[in-house]
């Protein structure tokens, strides 16, 4: 790739200041496949009118090279590079700029030295630099801090300004400067912005023929302006990228860790450390840690940055195994349980032994050096122990022992089913425990339902059926005959619930105990800005003339953090190897955890091909808008039935979650096999339907996880993707493991 190969406007003359903003590739820069592909696509379409590519989306984890790629595009296209980092409370002034009063020297002298410095720098800039850029440079602070500081100064100046005639001056934002002058602008993390009005302003600006309305003028998009949107996946505070914003993107890249060979090449180029054998072990470790963190919903990231710093530490003489924690693992998590999961993954793949081998070899080398100093001649020889090469194929193999099945519960007519339990049981244990750990009790025999209650229940079932059929009416499942059931329960279900829940509740309560303090922080005293009414007047919003001059306090209940959907595959194969009972125990654990933490929970089971007139069966055990304490006993109606039409079930549940007000919406599918239903819902047809369903509803804010508990783990992993896949090796650990994973999304 030559220096000028991808220049978009070779005849354009940049100023000296603009030339300084064009990124210069260091000698260590390695050209990636993504960089080559994007550069070629943009160059090819640059003069094709509506087919022009000027808005790019790079989506991936921290350390996957998104910003490095954005800067490389600046060098390839010969465009000045600049960036903005978005934050939750951004408002329109952060997008377009702000109007500031020019105060007198006497008023200026009355301010604090820091405020004086900022205002003097702004007045001297003459409006040619963005207001945020000036404040960041003068005070040496971050972009978010600069935005907050300017709001404080504006408020202070407004309070102290009692002059009748005031001169005002407009200072553009960094976005406006790049937009007007034709730079390459990186917009980092727009998915954390809370205010929809801010996103609407961005949407309008990103049209190929778009414009930005300023208080002083209308700025048209420069023909050379390119925006690169970079977002992290699954980070705290991050939401799915706004659909309208995503729609304005003409090219997207999913930024994951590069292949092992590329990782080694980049580490060599970046650090100057050339021991490829050691680097191979480090790269393998990063790959396994990244895969394990995704599989267990651990929110930290193992990426290229971690590899670079880890390599550099080892090159400086640090222990490979000890520096693993300080350079990699503690960046991912400091939770003891999560660290153990990561350590076990490395150990199972032989990588802990590999790191110990690196340290042993280094120690042997040092011992040889000492002996060389003492040697009188060259006859002495020392044998050095090393470790074997790591086979790449090992990373996808299953090193775990065979699944240990849990005994299936005997049926009611078996000889020992009721030998220790009275049929006229009046009291039974509840799932809750007292303060001393002893079981509490409640009346188990429910009162007969009144006619009015039965009518309400019928109406609810009808609504469930109507809603479900409406959801699938525009999909490939529109002609599938569907019935949504609301299972009832009996005393046997109550007994089974008590038996299965006994050992689970201490674990569930302990996880909930750690979660509840986090939920207390949701009590919000923040103000939602730009409202037509509210309890707080915003003087700085009057300039926009949109009548949104007020701020309204957000009540704690306005944005609860999490809603959970649990889909249970009730196909016939679930009866094998204790899977059904393991699924029931997991569902109980999640249900009780959500009850303790007041998290809305939706639990559906499904099966297919029960009969010709019932091709799809949905079993609504719990609902988002109808809660019943006895739902816990309905969960015991989960059973192995017939086939499974997964995509249809996911679609029905995802739509319910979409309509919920929660910020994070998690849909977990518990399944032991790949989709298969009559007539032809199988193979690539079914897989494509599931993947399209997942993609469609992820754009609407749903996070999918697949808990695979059967023989088709590889197929389920391929369908959902590694980042959404939970490999449940030991069924007896499944309930606690699933609750811990859900707790991480709170």
Each domain of the chain, given as residue ranges in start order, spans: 16-90+177-255, 105-163, 260-368, 475-522+560-743, 527-554
Half-sphere exposure of 427 (CA within 13 A, CB side): 5
- Residue 189's nearest CA partner among 156, 236, 150 is 236
User: Nearest CA to 216 among 176, 179, 183, 185?
Assistant: 176
The gap between the terminal CA atoms of the chain, to the nearest Å, is 46
CB 282 within 8 A of CB 310: yes
Handedness of CA 288, 289, 294, 296 (dihedral sign): positive
The half-sphere exposure of 651 on its side-chain side, counting CA atoms within 13 A, is: 23
Residue from 270, 273, 241, 272 nearest 258 by CA: 270
Assess contact for 485 and 570: CB atoms under 8 A. Answer: no
pLDDT at 544: 46
Query: Peptide bond before 627: cis, by omega within 30 degrees of 0?
Result: no
Confidence at residue 619, expressed as pLDDT on a 0 to 100 scale = 93
- Tens of pLDDT, residues 357-388: 998 888 877 776 666 555 545 544 444 333 33
Rounded Cα gap, residues 53 and 36, in angstroms: 15
Residue 129 is predicted with a pLDDT of: 53
- Distances 538 to 103, 115, 153, 533, 643 between C-alpha atoms, Å: 20, 21, 14, 11, 59
Instruction: Report whether 388 contacts 351 (CB < 8 A).
Output: no
Q: What are phi and psi of 568, to 5 degrees?
A: -110, 120
β-partners of residue 537 are 550
Structure tokens belonging to residue 616: 């799809």
CATH topology match: 16-90+177-255 vs 475-522+560-743: yes
Alpha helices in 168-303 (DSSP H): 174-181, 196-205, 243-247, 260-271, 276-295
**Which residues of the chain register pLDDT less than 50?**
127-128, 236-237, 376, 379-445, 521-527, 531-533, 535, 542-549, 554-560
Q: How high is the pLDDT of residue 2?
A: 57
pLDDT value of position 551: 55
Closest CA to 608 of 568, 641, 656, 652: 641
- State which fold the 16-90+177-255 domain adopts: Rossmann fold (3.40.50)
The β-bridge relationship of strands 211-213 and 218-220 is antiparallel
How far is CA 665 from each of CA 499, 513, 656, rounded to the nearest angstrom?
31, 22, 10
Angle 143-160/113-125 helices, nearest 10 degrees?
A: 100
| 475-522+560-743: CATH, from 3.40.720.10, 3.40.50.410, 3.30.930.10, 3.20.20.80 | 3.40.50.410
How far apart (Å, rounded) are the C-alpha atoms in residues 81 and 227?
10
State the Rg of the chain over Cα: 30
Strands 167-172 and 97-102: antiparallel
Residues sharing a CB contact under 8 Å with residue 56, sequence separation 6 or more, in sequence order: 38, 42, 73, 226, 227, 228, 229, 249, 250, 251, 252, 253
Tell me the H-state helices in 161-249.
174-181, 196-205, 243-247
For the full predicted model, state whether its pTM sits above 0.75. Answer: no
Angle at alpha carbon of residue 712, lines to 706 and 714, rounded to 5°: 75
CA pair distance 151, 100, nearest whole angstrom: 10
């Amino acid at each position: 790739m030559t220096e000028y190969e991808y220049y978009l406007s070779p005849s354009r003359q940049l100023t000296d200041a603009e030339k300084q903003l064009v990124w210069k590739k260091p000698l260590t820069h390695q050209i990636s496949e993504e960089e080559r592909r994007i550069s070629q696509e943009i160059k090819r379409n640059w003069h094709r009118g509506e087919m022009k590519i000027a808005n790019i989306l790079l989506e991936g984890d921290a350390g996957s090279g998104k910003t490095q790629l954005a800067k490389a595009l600046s060098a390839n296209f010969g465009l000045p590079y600049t960036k903005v980092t978005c934050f939750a409370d951004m408002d329109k002034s952060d997008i377009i700029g702000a109007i500031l009063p020019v105060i007198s020297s006497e008023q200026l002298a009355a301010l604090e030295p820091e405020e004086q410095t900022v205002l003097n720098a702004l007045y001297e800039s003459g409006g040619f630099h963005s207001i945020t850029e000036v404040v960041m440079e003068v005070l040496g602070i971050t972009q978010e801090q600069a935005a907050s500081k300017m709001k404080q100064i504006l408020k202070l100046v407004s309070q102290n300004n009692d002059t009748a005639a005031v001169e005002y001056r407009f200072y553009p934002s960094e976005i406006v400067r790049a937009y007007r002058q034709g730079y390459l602008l990186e917009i980092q993390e727009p998915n954390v912005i809370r205010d929809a009005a801010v996103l609407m302003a961005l949407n309008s600006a990103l049209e190929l023929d778009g414009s930005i309305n300023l208080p002083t003028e209308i700025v048209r998009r420069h023909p050379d302006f390119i925006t690169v949107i970079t977002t992290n996946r699954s980070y705290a505070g991050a939401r799915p990228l706004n659909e309208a914003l995503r729609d304005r993107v003409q090219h997207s890249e999913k930024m994951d860790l590069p292949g092992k060979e590329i990782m080694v090449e980049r580490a060599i180029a970046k650090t100057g450390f050339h021991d490829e054998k050691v680097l191979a072990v480090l790269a393998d470790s990063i790959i396994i840690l990244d895969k394990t963190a995704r599989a267990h919903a651990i929110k930290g990231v193992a990426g290229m940055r971690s590899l670079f710093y880890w390599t550099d530490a080892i090159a400086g003489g640090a222990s490979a195994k000890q520096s693993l924690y300080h350079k990699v693992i503690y960046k991912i998590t400091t939770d003891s349980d999560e660290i153990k999961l990561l350590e076990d993954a490395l150990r199972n793949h032989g990588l802990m032994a590999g790191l110990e081998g690196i340290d042993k070899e280094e120690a042997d080398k040092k011992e040889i050096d000492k002996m060389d100093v003492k040697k009188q001649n060259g006859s002495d020889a020392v044998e050095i122990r090393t470790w074997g090469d790591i086979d790449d194929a090992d990373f996808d193999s299953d090193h775990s022992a065979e699944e240990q099945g849990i005994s299936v519960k005997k049926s009611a007519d078996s000889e020992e089913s009721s030998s220790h339990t009275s049929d006229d049981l009046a009291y039974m244990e509840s799932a809750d425990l007292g303060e001393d750990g002893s079981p509490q009790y409640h009346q188990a025999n429910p009162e007969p339902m009144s006619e009015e209650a039965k009518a309400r229940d019928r109406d609810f079932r009808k609504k469930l059926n109507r809603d479900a059929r409406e959801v699938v009416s525009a999909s490939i499942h529109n002609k599938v005959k569907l019935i949504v059931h609301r299972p009832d329960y009996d005393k046997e279900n109550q007994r089974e619930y008590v038996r299965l829940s006994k050992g689970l509740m201490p674990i569930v309560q302990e996880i909930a105990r750690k979660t509840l303090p986090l939920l207390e922080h949701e009590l919000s005293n923040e103000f939602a800005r730009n409202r037509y009414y509210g309890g707080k007047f915003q003087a700085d919003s009057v300039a926009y003339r949109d009548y949104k001059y007020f701020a309204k306090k957000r009540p704690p209940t306005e944005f609860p953090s999490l809603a959970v959907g649990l889909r249970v595959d009730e196909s016939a194969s679930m009866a094998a190897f204790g899977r059904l009972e393991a699924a029931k125990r997991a569902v109980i654990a999640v249900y009780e955890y959500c009850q303790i933490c007041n998290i809305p929970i939706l639990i559906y089971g499904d099966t297919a091909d029960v009969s010709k007139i019932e091709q799809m069966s949905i079993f609504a055990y719990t609902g988002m808008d109808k809660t019943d304490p006895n739902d816990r006993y309905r969960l015991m109606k989960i059973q192995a039935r017939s086939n499974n039409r997964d995509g249809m079930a996911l679609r029905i549940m995802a739509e319910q979650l979409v309509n919920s007000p929660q910020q994070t919406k998690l849909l977990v599918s518990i399944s032991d096999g790949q989709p298969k239903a009559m007539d032809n819902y199988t193979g690539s047809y079914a897989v494509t339907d599931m993947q399209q369903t997942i993609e469609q509803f992820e754009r609407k804010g749903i996070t999918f996880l697949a808990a695979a508990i059967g023989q088709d783990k590889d197929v389920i992993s391929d369908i959902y993707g590694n980042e959404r896949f939970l490999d449940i090796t030991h069924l007896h650990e499944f309930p606690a493991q699933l609750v811990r994973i859900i707790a991480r999304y709170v």
